[in-house]
Amino acid sequence: MGRRKTGEAISGWLCLDKPYDLTSTQAVGRIRRAFNAQKAGHAGTLDPLATGILPIALGEATKTVSFMMDAGKTYRFTIAWGRTTTTLDREGETSAASDVRPSLAETEAALPAFVGEIDQVPPAFSAIKVAGERAYDLARAGETVELASRRVVIHRAEVTGAPDADHVDIEIDCGKGVYVRAIVRDLAERLGACGHVSALRRTRVGPFTEALAITLENLEDLGHKARLLEALLPVETALDDIPVLAVTAEDAFRLKQGRPIVLVPRQVEDLKARLPAGDRTVSALAGGSLVALCEMRMGRLEPVRVFHL
């Protein structure tokens, strides 16, 4: 006999504006408790010392988390010149110091080298596993951590301001796996300076933006007013770039049973025109509600993930 699930069967996405000094796991725990939800997870870890967008999936939305892992992201961050730290942020111990203060023009001239597909070595203080251990655990224990470089993509990088000679503000659009702390490390080295991240904020993860975000304080206020569900976004929010097909109630019933449905030629041609090259994933909706994520094969839609909403 299976273990009975505890909590409410609540489904949807919450676009959390994560506060400073809170881990992503802690944030998920707080949201799950606030909603008394049976299941919860997040789409993309955000460092404890960073603030900003942390999409949190509840219930059936957890089935769409994998589609957010490749989502584009936008970060705003501040570099403090003069000091390199062990963690590459302001919490680490000083590992090197320099009087060099790159000018705004020098920083702007160096940034293009970090745009496009680049090889990036992740920071030693990261969650990457080395021989089964987290790199940050090994680094904290004083061990030398050597991580292999990874191919990552940065679509845009630009200087947005300079509060004073000791600081510069930068904004980037990037793909998955990019470490802002590594960008700052490599940029400082390129400029012959020392530097670390003094502030970091994520402003976008795919379709989740600051305009949709809610703080823990505002969420708590909604809870006091018994209006928590107002903060939830639809499960399909994470699937905004996947072609949608409206299906009949009869076809929806078949898909929910795990059975494929046959498409008419017009539907096949329409979906082919909307699907990215080499992709077959289609969202099936009935009555405005997400029924299943499917793959289109040989004129049929075959359910891959079924939703119970």
- 47 flagged as catalytic: yes
Is the Cα torsion angle 16, 22, 27, 33 positive or negative in sign? negative
Give the separation between CA 113 and CA 192, rounded to whole angstroms.
15
Host H or E run for residue 85: strand 83-85
Token pair for residue 51? 């603030």
- For residue 79, what are the β-bridge partners? 168, 197
Question: Which one-letter amino acid corresponds to residue 56?
Answer: I
Give the separation between CA 265 and CA 204, rounded to whole angstroms.
38
- For residue 118, what are the β-bridge partners? 152
* Catalytic-labelled residue, pool 47, 89, 186, 251: 47
The conformation of residue 4, written as its DSSP 8-state character, comes to P
Helix spans in the chain (H): 24-35, 104-110, 135-140, 180-190, 216-224, 249-256, 265-274
Give the separation between CA 300 and CA 186, rounded to whole angstroms.
49
- Check: CB of residue 76 under 8 Å from CB of residue 45: no
Name the residues annotated as catalytic: 47
